[in-house]
Structures are given as structure tokens and as C-alpha cells.
Chain A
């Protein structure tokens, strides 16, 4: 060992004899972003590292370890995406997403762009057609009022089961759920000037809850869509009830719906039964 290396080894040993210097050495080893400027959004890696340090310390630790090991930048990006992804409901594919706040996925339907709607959601377009939805704004507003009345008639059947699923389908299709990620498309949310969700533990938990609820609602809606496609009885009731309510919204208070085969509840044939 040459003199230079010997001197460095001696310095390292001496650093460890002092409590404060030993702590500083450990911090420099394990927590190099301690004094970094976490507002530098131009440096994707440093910015993501700061997010992890604040919200996901285990991901931060893993990323620092990989950076020290000299792995490729793409490998570090993978560590970030996989690590942070474990804490989010929505999938993350690219480190660039992190700069725009906590990511979310809007699942809303834009009925006003009929051409795109029919191309992207042909199954939903069939249901929308039963409500007389066309490119005219007035038909959408009218259909929304009919959907509200139908949802009201389904609510007495409970918060679970197929009636609830059908209500979810109507809420999703006409943007009536009250959940922002179910009611709006990505484009609508960006155009509304929504602020990026900050990377804070409470905000992450909030977005996760909203996203989880959004996925559950859309799952329920998809179940109902499949039911309407495969069960002639339900489809007939749905179409008939829609027609009656379109003709006279007051009919919605007296609508019959088929029983939920899964619930086995004989009283579920009518809300007032």
C-alpha cells in the first residue's frame, strides 16, 4: 500500500474515533441526498431521489445502493419505478411521471366527442344509444337526468350486488359518481387546470384511496356491462326502464328490476316490496 492510501486509511480510522465525525461519515455513505436541493425538477434522478427520501425511505436506500454500485441509469430508473410503484395503486412506467406529482389515471368517459367515444368504447356506446345520446349536447344532458332517476331506483337494492353494479355503470357512463377519476378524462382534468398532487405522505394516501375507489367502480360497471350483454332478461328490463323514464321521469319511482341471482334475496325484486 502506498503512502497516499495509507494516509487515507488512517484518516478513515480516525474519523471513526469521533462520534460526530463518525455520524457524518455514516450519513455521507447512506444518506447522500441529505443536503441536496430537492426542488431541482430538471434533474429527474435527483428529484426522484428526494421524493423517495421523504416518502419511501426503503426505495431511497435501494436506489442509493444501486447508484453506488455503478449500475446503468436505466437500471436505477427501474428501481425507482418498481419501488415507488409498490406504494401506488396506479402503474408507473417512466421516471418522468414523478415530476408531475403523484400519478393518477382518469377513467372518465367523454360523451361530447361521440366519434372518439364510439371508437374507444363500443360496448358503452350501445348502452348510451339506449338513452338516445347523440353528438347533440342536449341529448347528453337529458340522458344524464334519466340516468340519475334510474340510479335512484336502483339504490334501495343495496350497496353490493348486481343492482349496485348497474348503478355504477350509469354513474361511470354519465359522470355521476362524485369520484373525480371516474367522472373526468385525463384531457378534461388537465384542461381544468388541476394542480399536480404534491409528493407528501397524506396526499399519496388520498390519491391511492381515490384511485382504488375509481378502479372498483369501473370494475363494477364492467360487470354490469357484461350482464347486460349476456343476460336477456336484465337487458330487457334495463331497456324498458330506460324507455319509461325517458318518456316520464316520474316512472322511475315505480320501476321493477330483476332479482339479484347471486343474493338469493326473494324480496330484491322491487325496492318497495
Chain B
């Protein structure tokens, strides 16, 4: 009898949510540097660091967009199919 191990979308979501947050420089800079009064963002961060953080943030955003597009179009993938003839 065919036995197939599956992972439904809810389990996949839980799996993704369990991932630890990525250590992004931009987020770290926001924590380290307090914004000026009345502002949302810090102003005393060296330009080089801001540029480095932006490049990282854009790359992260691009990767995230690509990953979400792939996940949105994910086809069912059988994880375990005990069919002996399959390799033949």
C-alpha cells in the first residue's frame, strides 16, 4: 500500500515562522541609535554604515520577494514514496 508523508500549508507556515530572525544591520542600527526627537529614524549614523545596511536590506527584500513567489507557486512535493519500482 502506498504511504505518502505530507506537509500541508499550515505546517509549512509554522516551519517558516519558527525560523530565527535574520540579523540585519539596519535593524541593529535602529536599536543602537536613538532617533532624534520627533523623528522616526536615527540621523547620527555614519554614511558608510547606512549604505552598507541599505545594500543588505535591498538584497534581503529581493530574496524575500523571490522566496515568497516560489512558495506561492509551490507544487505538492511527495516526501516519501515507498515504491520499489520507482528507481527503475
- Total interface residues on B, using CB and 8 Å? 23
Chain A CB within 8 A of B86 CB: no
Overall SS of chain B's interface:
helix
A25 touches B54 (CB 8 A): no
Contact between A9 and B26 (Cβ–Cβ < 8 Å)? no
Asked if B58 and A60 make an inter-chain contact with CB atoms under 8 angstroms apart, the answer reads yes
A261 CA to B42 CA, complexed, in Å: 65
* Dominant SS among interface residues on chain A: helix
Q: Does A253 contact B (CB under 8 A)?
A: no
Are A22 and B54 in contact (CB-based, < 8 A)? no
Q: Are B30 and A57 within 8 A (Cβ)?
A: no
User: Using Cβ atoms and an 8 Å threshold, which residues of chain B touch A8?
Assistant: 38, 40
| Size class of the A contact interface (CB-based, 8 Å) | 20 to 34
Q: Do B55 and A12 touch across chains, with their CB atoms under 8 A apart?
A: no
Find chain A residues with CB under 8 A from B24 CB.
23, 26
Q: When each residue 19-55 of chain A gets 1 if its CB lies under 8 Å from chain B and 0 otherwise, what string results?
A: 1001101111111001000000000000000000100
Decide if A244 is an interface residue (CB 8 Å cutoff). no
A79: min CB distance to chain B, Å: 11
Q: A9 contacts B37, CB within 8 Å? A: yes
A23 touches B27 (CB 8 A): yes
Report whether A27 and B61 are in contact in the complex, using a CB–CB cutoff of 8 Å.
yes
A residues within 8 A CB of B53?
A: 26, 30, 61
Whether A5 sits at the interface, judged by CB under 8 Å, is yes
| Given contacts A26-B24, A30-B50, A65-B51, A57 and B31 within 8 Å (CB-CB) | no
Residues of B within 8 A of A (CB): 21, 24, 26-27, 29-31, 35, 37-38, 40-41, 47, 50-55, 57-59, 61
